[in-house]
Amino acid sequence: MKSRVSSHFFILVSIAALSAISHYSIYYGALIRGYEASGLTAGRNLLLIGILAILPIFLSKVFKFKGNWTLYTSVVLLFSIGLTAQFRLFGDPEYISRKDKAEARQAKIKTIQQHYIQENYSAEKKRIMGLDPTPPAPVDLSKETPRPSGISFTEVLFSGKTLIPLFAIFCFLAAFFLTRDER
């Protein structure tokens, strides 16, 4: 079976789209838990996957590469899964703080408890607890103030999680050009 670039490009674009959906769901899940995952980190991850998705078109059209793209597509799939897992893990202040793990965990628990009370407790139960006796209603996340991620643009730009993949892409391109057969 012939490995066509268009098939792999479609798969890579699908991987990028699924990564975007998963990053958004992680970001939204963080808002539900009362903190904000870094949108800059998500953008960086999606940009890296986007570069890797477009690279086969560039290499096949400009440099006339006619080889098999299966291994490349598999690597991009695993890379996107790894980036998504890292975004979930390292976006949570409970996991990244060195000193304040217990405080971050308590803040998450308190936010989730408040959301549960707002959505499920009757006005009478809320009044007994000393809260505003409002009827149960869904939580409006736009009115919430999540704890900000605190990651700046320069931290994302010069992070090892940015520079190492860019260096790896550069090394891949260098190896491609050095091992290319000109016949």
Nearest to 75 by CA among 170, 165, 148, 177: 165
Domain spans, the chain:
5-179
Q: What is the pLDDT of residues 29-69, one digit of tens each?
A: 888 888 888 889 999 999 999 999 999 998 888 888 888 88
Q: What is the rounded distance in angstroms from the CA atom of residue 22 to the CA atom of residue 18?
A: 6
Q: How confident is the model at residue 90 (pLDDT cuts 50, 70, 90)?
A: confident
Confidence (pTM)? 0.82
Q: Which amino acid is at 15?
A: I
Phi, psi (5° rounding) for residue 165?
Answer: -65, -35
